[in-house]
Structure 1
């Protein structure tokens, strides 16, 4: 099946599920509060098919990129009839609960998806259970000042002898903000030597989530880094790097993972780098010029513009309590990342062009369903569900957060806002959202390879 078809179908299915869950949240709480629901629709526009049960018309509409629940009397332009089933006839706290129910349903979906995934198919990087071999040590880090070098094998870390990376991470978290003895094994002129030193584990994270791998980047695999996909218009493509190329070294330094490569590029401050590429039986150098750009998760840095194949991993099935714990951690961390991106956008510390619309989502879902296993697509669905929930809570009229904001304002004033004022607010917000959506669509289209040659 062509990728475009796979991407389109997968996007429609994923967004359909997200919207169904979101609108069901509004629907079920509205019903529990006694609000009459006139329409429950997946999609917008012309009604294609459906059925009516009670007061509600359940329908599938023409444009499958969204959906809605229409409650009686929820439109500010509608005249109130005094019907107790109308949305506006209910207390503000009930209307707020109905507004919160949609995003909350998306959060529950993300939690359930990841809990189920961890119970059935939890992928764990193999390097965690292997020897603690260092792939790269950032310059001017505490590890570099302690004399640790790339290629060193850690044979003692505090009280642990021959630790695995998993054991080392746990011990480092316990020893944070203290100095620990460390012994490494190193090849010097063909001979194996052991060198002992001390390492201060300073916690510079803002949230107290210390990670030893920021100063000691592990060797995730013994094989070279392999390119999975080269992004159009980025330095890697311009230098001639292609999908499935192996990167044997960067400026003569052997690096085996994306984190090691990224750390090295930051250390070089964007200077041109020579990559030694292996393509089939050919080995040749190429020169790339890194650019300062967003990595897609709100983090700025020097980039080459490619995705690498994941390092080797094994599959585990976690018991329910551990699966719940991992799911909560996943969703909290990624919610924090999403909020950070939103904050950067509003404070102009990040480029709005990094946002993706339906075309970008289709590309991601297409790639996810093309990958082996369930983890890529389930993880992506959880992230999309989190995004949908958080974005709908933004205090923008028409969105759930905007409705809740207006209800809070009315509650503070102890009276309803003027109907004409609310109509104007919703109309203005609708125009802004349509223009914003059009911009995102154009931004999506401009990223297609068809237009890449038009860019400088």
Structure 2
């Protein structure tokens, strides 16, 4: 985001694609300020009660404290560093677009609120601030303490529409370019992950005390058949379980080190009368990597992966707006971002490449929305000015629109930070 007045402009958002091969909570998209959880195709939400979704088997309080190991701290630091780098790239796009055109810039900040550290160089104040809700680039256009004349041609507000458009859109452009470079680096450094489908449905987790746990299903089992139906899909497993409350269901599973087993499971009855056995389900696949033989092939592979991630992010955002009433209560903030990033880092350091690329793409897409406090809101005001034949919108009107949006977004961000922190598993255990 850029700061066209004395107000602060936050920088949202990102999403993790459901198709990512790296271990993470499935079908969840996050953002720096908000996120949506589109309806999951895997069906695990149909088998878990709401309070158990996205939840692993929870350790005791001593175990939770002990789990805060050096490895966990390192993965959290890695995820936070990725988040900070994305914000830095976005704001650097605005900053460079202004500086290269000779436009006056007064501030460059990562975060909002109280200043933790600052220094001044070439008349620009660079600062790190307390709340990691984004960042801003400040311009002295309306700063009463600035000694720059208000009619200076190098103030942003006095520049032609095209110059201002380049400054406003440069943050989005920087994130898109950075996302491609991340994918290209991933292809060269570690290869491109590819999912090779395997038969059956994987059971990553089983809730303690559930029907599945009582009747012998274990984490890591692969469901090969249900009631005689072989090679079922996730949706088929879910449908058969839902239709069989308190009725014996024959489930054939493959277990490591053993031949296939035939288990008789009696689903519990949910409040809506459907069956539930208390397992998490996911596609069964083997992960392999494709490595390029030369730079040309690396460019092609990176381009295809980049377009695929872009399509996934846009589809996910579309689902947010099409199902907003269902997803509004599942909005998450920076704490959830770092939590999922830390899980990706613990599972596979390779996954941080895709994690970072998707954050960039989601940030770019969200910032183009014509909403106050986003780059798209500033672009919309600029287009209105162009439609008026270059006649500027009254400064007071523009500031009221942007300031109200900024205030709303910052308040929402603070609320989400508190809520997401309270929703962390180890915090729930302590409370």
- TM-score w.r.t. the length of structure 1 is 0.63
Per-residue deviation at 1:109?
0.9
Q: Is the 8 A contact 1:35 1:72 kept in 2?
A: no
Once the two structures are superposed, residues 116-153 of structure 1 have per-residue CA deviations (whole angstroms, 9 ceiling, x without a partner) of 211232245474xxxxxxxxxxxxxxxxxxxxxxxxxx
Task: Verify: 1:84 aligned to 2:153, yes or no.
Answer: yes
Q: Show the counterpart of 1:352.
A: 328
Per-residue deviation at 1:39?
1.6
CA-based RMSD of the aligned residues comes to 4.0
Distance 2:215 2:427 in 1: 18
Distance 2:309 2:319 in 1: 15
> Which residues of structure 1 form unaligned runs of 5+?
128-219, 292-302
Q: Show the counterpart of 2:163.
A: 94
Where do 1:56-455 residues align within 5 Å? 56-73=124-141, 81-123=150-192, 125=194, 127=196, 220-221=197-198, 225-229=201-205, 243-255=219-231, 261-265=233-237, 268=240, 270-272=242-244, 275-276=251-252, 284-287=263-266, 305-307=280-282, 310-348=285-323, 351-374=327-350, 376-414=351-389, 415-438=391-414, 440-441=416-417, 444-445=420-421, 447-449=423-425
Per-residue deviation at 1:323?
2.4
Q: Give the 3 Å change call, closer, same or farther, for CA 231–430 of structure 1 in structure 2.
A: farther
Once the two structures are superposed, residues 82-131 of structure 1 have per-residue CA deviations (whole angstroms, 9 ceiling, x without a partner) of 1233211111211111111001111111101111211232245474xxxx
Q: Give the 3 Å change call, closer, same or farther, for CA 248–46 of structure 1 in structure 2.
A: same
Higher gyration radius (CA): 1
Distance 2:288 2:90 in 1: 33
Distance 2:213 2:413 in 1: 29
Task: Verify: 1:8 aligned to 2:83, yes or no.
Answer: no
Q: Secondary structure at the match of 2:174?
A: helix
Distance 2:211 2:159 in 1: 57
Q: Give the 3 Å change call, closer, same or farther, for CA 234–85 of structure 1 in structure 2.
A: farther
Once the two structures are superposed, residues 195-254 of structure 1 have per-residue CA deviations (whole angstroms, 9 ceiling, x without a partner) of xxxxxxxxxxxxxxxxxxxxxxxxx237x6544456999998999966444445434445
Once the two structures are superposed, residues 357-385 of structure 1 have per-residue CA deviations (whole angstroms, 9 ceiling, x without a partner) of 222212211111112352x1101110111
Q: Is the 8 A contact 1:230 1:307 kept in 2?
A: no
Higher strand share: 1
Distance 2:327 2:310 in 1: 19
Distance 1:233 1:80 in 2: 72
Q: Is the 8 A contact 1:76 1:423 kept in 2?
A: no
Q: Give the 3 Å change call, closer, same or farther, for CA 308–438 of structure 1 in structure 2.
A: farther
Distance 1:22 1:385 in 2: 9
Distance 2:211 2:329 in 1: 18
Question: Which stretch has the larger CA shift, 239-248 or 105-114?
Answer: 239-248
* Paired positions, count: 344
Greater relative contact order: 1 or 2 (C-alpha under 8 angstroms, separation 6 or more)?
2
